[in-house]
Amino acid sequence: MSFWGMYAHTCGAFDEFNNLFREFHQSCALHDGIGIEKICEGKLAQAVNQSLDRIHFHGLDIEMANLTVEQPSIEVLKVEITHGLSIERLNNGAGDDWNKTESSLLGAKCTYYTPKNDQRDLIDGIDANHKPYGVAITTLIQSPMKLYVQNQNYSKILLGNDNDEMTKNVVRFETNLTWHDLLDVLPTQNKPPKYWKITDYNNLMNENPHF
pLDDT in tens, 30-68: 999 999 999 999 999 999 999 999 999 999 999 999 999
No. of helices (H) and no. of strands (E), the chain:
4, 9
Q: What is the mean pLDDT of the chain?
A: 92
Rounded distance, CA 140 to CA 159, Å?
A: 22
Of 10-24, 31-45, 118-132, the one with minimum mean pLDDT is 118-132
Burial of 184 (0-12, 13-18, 19+ CB in 10 A): middle
Q: Give residue-wise pLDDT tens across range 138-193.
A: 999 999 999 999 998 888 999 999 999 999 999 999 999 998 898 888 888 888 89
At residue 125, φ and ψ (nearest 5 deg) are -70, -20
Residue 125 has pLDDT above 60, yes or no: no
Between the alpha carbon of residue 176 and those of residues 42, 55, 113, the distances in Å are: 15, 33, 14
User: pLDDT value at position 147?
Assistant: 97
- Give residue 80's pLDDT: 94
Shortest CA distance to 54 belongs to which of 87, 31, 20, 84?
31
Are 137 and 194 spatial neighbours (Cβ–Cβ below 8 Å)? no
Q: What is the DSSP string of 41-84?
A: -HHHHHHHHHHHHHHHHTT-EEEEES--SS-SEEEEEEEEEEES
**What pLDDT, on a 0 to 100 scale, did the predictor assign at position 169?**
98
Going from N- to C-terminal start, the domains of the chain cover 3-201
CATH of domain 3-201: 3.10.450
Question: What is the pLDDT, as a whole number, of residue 180?
Answer: 87
